[in-house]
Amino acid sequence: MNRRTLILGTAGHVDHGKTTLVRALTGTDTDRLEEEHRRGISIELGFAHLKLADDVRVGVVDVPGHERFVRQMVAGAGGMDLVMLLIAADEGVMPQTREHFDVLRLLNVSSGLIVLTKTDLADPELREVVREEVIDLVAGSFLEDAPIVEVSAQTGEGLDELRAQVLELARTAPEKGRSGDFRVPVDRVFAMPGAGVVITGTAWAGSVKVGDSLRLLPTDRAVRVREVQSHGDNVPEAFAGARVALALNGAKKDEVSRGDALVSGDAWVASTVVGVHVTAVVKPAARAPMMKQRVRLHVNHAAREVLARLDIVERDELPFGESAYARLLLEEPLVARPGDSLVLRSYSPTVTVAGGIVLDPSMPERQRRAQAADWLRRCHERGSDEWPWLRVERNGLRGRLKAEVRADFSMLGYSRKQVDSAIQSAQNDGTVITLGDSLVAAPVVAAAAEEILTRVRAHQAKEPMTPGLSKEELRSALGFTGAGQVFSQFLQRLASHHPLFVLDDRVRADTAAPELNVSQEEKLAAFEERVSQAQPAYQATEEEMRSPELRLLVGAGRVEKLGGRLLTTRSRMDGLIARTGEHFAKNDALEVSDVKEWTGGSRKFVVPMLEWLDHQEVTRFDGGKRRRGPRCP
């Protein structure tokens, strides 16, 4: 059976009957603290289970309604799939009704219904007045066309209709993704005899099994799952959209806190600089202060609340009802992913002033505002699913390892098959190219090709007789940090699409060889003739060693450097290689005296020649003797 598992939450003003209604629906009293019973109000989140059908199971999160406990309400609302907005029929819309409703919209809760409670205390005329008030409140929102159910937890009026409406919504509401990384924000932690440390929370993504290894953030502690409960039952595996309790190995009770996150996967980080798109509420509470640059705020995300400074990167203030890109400079780290919603509340007085969508969960600590604004705008326009590719592009020619890109996609909820498909598709359509173990964005490659062409052409214009610009110089200029072999492969790839020629350790543009005028050709021929005529080798001057003619002759493979300032022609060395091959057909070793006899040269010339043969692997120096090398003919 494909069972749907979702979270149903409550929202509404204090004393509007949320906890009483949950008890009537589920039989569970979600007020578990003695203080809650003594004061008659909810202080902490409460939890219950509601089985609506064999294939539909709902976890119920009951939130406090008092203005002092909006923090707890936000923690509960973050994991809701469905919401019941409760308004007492005898009181109507109240301040926390409005603030809770703002929170729901800011957290992008998208499905729910409206419940008029305490109908036994209101006559039909008053009920109708409250109904109209509620319709005005939700106009233009996700609840605009939602059912309005009138109930009394005392008499039972409307409870059956409410169950039926919740079941209908639960069958059609979008479920949380079960693919990719597992994530659960911790909203309770306690120790149990025999079980050790136990955490509870709403699973936001993925799945978890007994024996899984997870990371506890922000401390980045490795833990293992000993036991899994979902909706009060021991289960081998639990999925996103369910309330879960996990018994853990690897952590003590005082090492886990409410607001921590348990995750799988390697891409998750705890960051103190989070990039967001912020939208200020349209009609804030009367006491709400204007959001100006560097204002101090409470940031509520999942089950965590931290203080932060708001760095608006586009302007100096954010009027109510408007949006902007910003960085949250946090006093404690948050664990988020692109697309997460959060709520911003003013420092004092503490009222809800804005909501935000996470665009980049971990931004550089030092970055110019203009650069930050441009980056956040691109993240926003491209969408969270493009964030892994944007990170590849931002890394320039370094790119990102395939394993890192896979981890980014898995964090976003992609299955292994979906990740493989996304990477293969990007490679097939040319969005990225592979360099070694990394992926590099096509726009970066195109920009690098243009820069290489510009640099090589400038070099050739300045030194027209040059054989090309050295690979190492290019590599350094581009800031390429990969291996030299990978850079050579990269240049070969560029050469297949651009007028570039890779010649050994040098690169030319437009032509494989310099186009010389008559005077330059004469200088080149004269230099080569001097080298050719010298027996057995030519000793060049310091000026000749620095000359463009020599670089060109060496680059073209017509002249060889033997060592120091000794030069000879390649044709002469090819003859020496052939003679060496003939020698080894009859002899086991090659002596200095043999080459002295062949060339008529002194030891000063012969030893550099032999060392050149060693370097070319024509010979190998072994035990004081030169033997046949692997490349000897």
Per-residue 3-state assignment (H helix, E strand, C coil) for 108-162: CCCCEEEEEECHHHCCHHHHHHHHHHHHHHHCCCCCCCCCEEECCCCCCCCHHHH
Indicate whether 143 pLDDT > 60: yes
At 130-141, the pLDDT tens digits run 999 999 999 999
Of 16, 18, 100, 471, which is the active-site residue? 18
pLDDT at 361: 97
**From CA 194, how far away is CA 211, in angstroms rounded?**
16
Indicate whether 281 pLDDT > 70: yes
Phi/psi region, residue 187 (left: phi>0; alpha: psi -120 to 50; beta: rest), is alpha
Mean pLDDT of 315-337: 94
Most confident option among 68-72, 322-326, 362-366 = 322-326
Indicate whether 1 pLDDT > 70: no
Q: Assess if residue 127 is contained within a domain.
A: yes
Task: Indicate if 150 and 66 belong to the same structural domain.
Answer: yes
Mean pLDDT of the chain: 88
pLDDT at 428: 92
Mean pLDDT of 598-605: 88
Q: Is 5 a catalytic residue?
A: no
What residues make up the domain containing 562?
519-628
C-alpha angle 14-20-23 in degrees, rounded to nearest 5: 140
Task: Indicate if 492 and 538 belong to the same structural domain.
Answer: no
According to DSSP, the β-strands at 233-234 and 221-230 are antiparallel
Higher pLDDT pick, 465 / 412 = 412
Question: Cβ distance 232 to 298 under 8 Å?
Answer: no
Higher pLDDT pick, 465 / 170 = 170
Q: What total of structural domains would you count in the chain? A: 5
Q: Assess if residue 177 is contained within a domain.
A: no
pLDDT at 36: 41
Question: Cβ distance 251 to 262 under 8 Å?
Answer: no
Task: List, as one string, the DSSP characters of 554-623.
Answer: HHTTSEEEEETTEEEEHHHHHHHHHHHHHHHTT-S-B-HHHHHHHH---HHHHHHHHHHHHHTTSEEEET
Task: Indicate if 21 and 168 belong to the same structural domain.
Answer: yes
Of 5, 10, 13, 15, which is the active-site residue? 15
Task: Indicate if 120 and 30 belong to the same structural domain.
Answer: yes
Mean pLDDT of 293-307: 93
What is the value of pTM for the model shown? 0.80
Indicate whether 197 pLDDT > 50: yes
Distances (CA, A) of 235 to 55, 140, 179, 287, 376: 16, 41, 19, 48, 41
Q: Assess if residue 95 is contained within a domain.
A: yes
Q: Assess if residue 287 is contained within a domain.
A: yes
**From CA 493, how far away is CA 432, in angstroms rounded?**
13
**From CA 63, how far away is CA 100, in angstroms rounded?**
10
Higher pLDDT pick, 26 / 266 = 266
φ/ψ of 507, rounded to 5, equals: -130, 135
- Which of these three, 125, 142, 172, is where a domain ends? 172
Structure tokens at 384: 């969270």
Task: Indicate if 31 and 163 belong to the same structural domain.
Answer: yes
pLDDT at 105: 87
Indicate whether 67 pLDDT > 70: no
Q: Is 66 a catalytic residue?
A: yes
Q: Assess if residue 156 is contained within a domain.
A: yes
Indicate whether 77 pLDDT > 90: no
Task: Indicate if 100 and 25 belong to the same structural domain.
Answer: yes
pLDDT at 547: 83
Task: Indicate if 51 and 158 belong to the same structural domain.
Answer: yes
Indicate whether 4 pLDDT > 90: no
Sheet containing strand 112-117, edge to edge, reads: 46-53, 56-62, 4-12, 82-88, 112-117, 148-150
pLDDT at 286: 64
Q: Is 19 a catalytic residue?
A: yes
Q: Assess if residue 178 is contained within a domain.
A: no
pLDDT at 72: 72
Q: Is it true that the peptide bond before 536 is cis, omega within 30 degrees of 0?
A: yes
**From CA 387, how far away is CA 422, in angstroms rounded?**
13
Task: Indicate if 58 and 120 belong to the same structural domain.
Answer: yes
Q: Is 15 a catalytic residue?
A: yes
Q: How many CB atoms lie within 10 A of CB 1?
A: 5
- Among 163-177, 352-366, 510-524, which is the least confidently predicted range? 510-524
Distances (CA, A) of 496 to 161, 424, 487, 511: 70, 21, 15, 14
pLDDT interval class at 39 (50, 70, 90): very low
Mean pLDDT of 12-37: 72
Indicate whether 480 pLDDT > 70: yes
- Among 77-86, 151-160, 511-520, which is the least confidently predicted range? 511-520
Q: At what angle do helices 159-172 and 18-26 cross, to 10 degrees?
A: 80
Domain of 155, CATH number, reads: 3.40.50.300
pLDDT interval class at 43 (50, 70, 90): very low
At 383-392, the pLDDT tens digits run 999 999 999 9
- Among 270-284, 472-486, 575-589, which is the least confidently predicted range? 472-486
Task: Indicate if 398 and 460 belong to the same structural domain.
Answer: yes
pLDDT at 37: 42
Q: Assess if residue 34 is contained within a domain.
A: yes
Indicate whether 87 pLDDT > 60: yes
Task: List, as one string, the DSSP characters of 528-566.
Answer: HHHHHHSSS-EE--HHHHT-HHHHHHHHTTSEEEEETTE
Nearest to 358 by CA among 341, 382, 381: 341
Mean pLDDT of 594-623: 87
C-alpha angle 394-400-405 in degrees, rounded to nearest 5: 105
pLDDT > 70: percent of the chain: 95
pLDDT interval class at 464 (50, 70, 90): confident
**From CA 607, how far away is CA 625, in angstroms rounded?**
13
**From CA 602, how far away is CA 536, in angstroms rounded?**
9
- Which of these three, 204, 233, 263, is where a domain ends? 263
pLDDT at 205: 94
Indicate whether 63 pLDDT > 80: no
Task: Indicate if 47 and 103 belong to the same structural domain.
Answer: yes
Mean pLDDT of 410-429: 94
pLDDT at 76: 65
Output b/e per residue, 80-90; b: 16+ Cβ within 10 A.
bbbbbbbbbbb
pLDDT at 376: 97
Structure tokens at 128: 């109708």
Of 5, 10, 19, 466, which is the active-site residue? 19
Of 49, 66, 402, 561, which is the active-site residue? 66
Domain of 210, CATH number, reads: 2.40.30.10
Mean pLDDT of 158-180: 90
Mean pLDDT of 583-599: 88
Domain of 449, CATH number, reads: 1.10.10.10
- Which of these three, 463, 491, 515, is where a domain ends? 515
* Max Cα-Cα span within the chain: 124
Question: Cβ distance 440 to 433 under 8 Å?
Answer: yes
φ/ψ of 331, rounded to 5, equals: -85, -20
Indicate whether 280 pLDDT > 50: yes
Structure tokens at 370: 């203009």
Task: Indicate if 87 and 228 belong to the same structural domain.
Answer: no
Question: Cβ distance 440 to 449 under 8 Å?
Answer: no
Indicate whether 330 pLDDT > 90: yes
Q: Assess if residue 139 is contained within a domain.
A: yes
pLDDT at 553: 84
Structure tokens at 571: 């044709």
Task: Indicate if 235 and 335 belong to the same structural domain.
Answer: no
